[in-house]
Amino acid sequence: MEAGEEDISAAAAAANLRNDAHQQQQQQQPPVTSSNITCFNNNSVINLHSLTHLTDYLPHLQTHVNPLDSIPFFHPISGFYLSPTDVIFRNILFDLSVSAGTSGSATHHLQRLDSYHRAGPRKHIYFDHSHVRAAIVTCGGLCPGMNTVIRELVVGLWDLYGVRHIFGIKSGYRGFYSASTDPVPLCPKMVHDLHKRGGTLLETSRGGFDLRLIVNAIENRGYNQVYIIGGDGTMRGAVKIFEEIKRRKLKIAVAGIPKTVDNDVGVIDRSFGFQTAVEMAQQAISAAHVEAESAVNGVGLVKLMGRSTGHIALHATLSSRDVDCCLIPEIEFYLEGKGGLFEFLESRLKQNGHAVLVVAEGAGQRLIPRSKEAAEGQAGKDESGNAVLLDIGGWLKSELKKWWGRDHPEEELFTVKYIDPTYTIRAVAANATDNLYCTLLAHAAMHGAMAGYTGFVCGPINGNYGYIPVEEVAGANNVVDTNDHKWAWVRSVNNQPDFRRT
């Protein structure tokens, strides 16, 4: 019930819901879902982030009883199906002292009770299983768990909903229309062990987004459920596809599954593959630590993924405990002078004889001198539209050597061991935690599309799976809050400088 947010009174909302329930009994239709609900006794308290439903622009769609009802060994019990009124709260941290002051500010703060539709199967669905033609596409870089998501979409659609026409689009967005790649029919047997393999069965690529060609292809090939697995660039494309489909008034559900090993997606708790990546990143840190402590004045330097955010670097640092300094894009750092990196390293080398640095790939971009072309902005974007990053790892290694040679002419021995484990990290299969997460994500996406929602992504919100408007996720960003406790904890664990010139 909702595109856009609007305030209506709780009473009206309740009336709507009752009417919905009434209509549903009579017409076998589920409640209309696209409206914003604010309730709590005439006060605006709950703010529901509404989703687009196919009936928003195709009001006369037929519903069907969810085939889960008739699966052997499967007896949906009371409470099994979710309804559009089942929501999750998002902002759950609260400062009581602020809200208690005046009713005005209380109202303001109570609007922080943002909520999202819960993910899960619905009693009534908007697709006849024999008519479903589902397309799955993966875009952008690799991330642990992509194959699990593919597997679970295929197995779930096939086994739970009886769908028999599931197609893999190869090579990312361009695979929809490219003459050189045909869609691959997928079935459970083909994907049986896929969750145990890294990468993506469907191949992936950056770029290739051509809205008209893509939507034409979707329409011509008769796909009515499109599952798009990709990062923020991909999700911005998904918004456009979804909007074009809505404009053409096609009965096609578009579901996004946010994929970013960097964990830089907003709204959701974390992105799939992230925990696996942190686990793997520890191995590189461990190797850097061994190399550093086995050398005289040894510095281990590890570059980790994280274009605009330092989540992997931060988490790997916290869990490994072998890192002396963790540099992330959210913090401007500097090398020379009081409070700078060199001063800090100097003290650590004196103290321990070695040091380990972790740097996220997007950190320190402003420190690196740009070549003429780069400065002029040519070739500044890759095919996904992301800014091409300068190589902070290589640059830092070189600066460290210069510094040592300059400041320690008498001391012969100094070594920097530089490790870039990116591909080794992102190409592994998901660990148990991520594997389960990917399963739940795929199921959430599938149940949502079957229920007639479109233009949504799914993901965990405070530990529960919900549906989020795709444009909201495409626009959000999840950076490390360097003012909160976690980052302070990193600094307290490392005693690393805060790089705030005093």
Tell me the binding residues for ATP: 141, 206-207, 231-234
Q: By CB under 8 A, which span of 245-253, 355-363, 424-432, 449-457 interacts with its own copies?
A: 424-432
Binding to its own copies, residues 284-313 (CB under 8 A)? 284, 286-288, 290-291, 293-296, 298
The residue (of 40 and 222) whose beta carbon lies closer to its own copies is 40
Q: Please confirm, yes or no, whether 262 is among the known catalytic residues.
A: yes
Q: Cβ of residue 243: shortest distance to its own copies, in angstroms?
A: 26
How many residues lie near its own copies (CB under 8 A)?
129
Q: Cβ of residue 156: shortest distance to its own copies, in angstroms?
A: 8
The answer to whether the beta carbons of residues 135 and 226 sit under 8 Å apart is: yes
- Residue from 20, 56, 114, 262 carrying the catalytic annotation: 262
The residue (of 27 and 95) whose beta carbon lies closer to its own copies is 95
The residue (of 120 and 364) whose beta carbon lies closer to its own copies is 120
Does residue 23 interact with its own copies by CB under 8 A?
Answer: no
Residue ranges of the annotated binding site for Mg(2+) are 232
Using CA atoms, how far residue 140 sits from 33, 159, 203, 260, in Å, is 32, 29, 10, 9
Does residue 6 interact with its own copies by CB under 8 A?
Answer: no
Binding to its own copies, residues 150-169 (CB under 8 A)? 155-156, 159-160
> In terms of Cα–Cα distance, which of 469, 397, 476, 480 is closest to 50?
469
What is the three-class DSSP state of 428? coil
Q: Six-digit token pair at 349? A: 């080398």
The separation between the first and the last C-alpha atoms of the chain, rounded to the nearest angstrom, is 52
Binding to its own copies, residues 345-404 (CB under 8 A)? 353
What are φ and ψ of residue 50, in 5° steps?
-85, 160
Selected from 14, 211, 375, 387, the binder of its own copies by CB under 8 A is 14
The residue (of 205 and 244) whose beta carbon lies closer to its own copies is 205
Binding to its own copies, residues 463-502 (CB under 8 A)? 463-464, 483-486, 488-489, 491-493, 495-498, 500
Neighbours of 318 (CB within 10 A): 17
Using CA atoms, how far residue 230 sits from 139, 259, 289, 427, in Å, is 5, 5, 33, 15
Q: Each residue of 269-296: b (16+ CB within 10 Å) or e?
A: bbbbbbbbbbbbbbebbeebbbbbeebe
Binding to its own copies, residues 333-352 (CB under 8 A)? 344
Neighbours of 90 (CB within 10 A): 18
Selected from 49, 53, 118, 397, the binder of its own copies by CB under 8 A is 118
- The catalytic site residues sit at 262
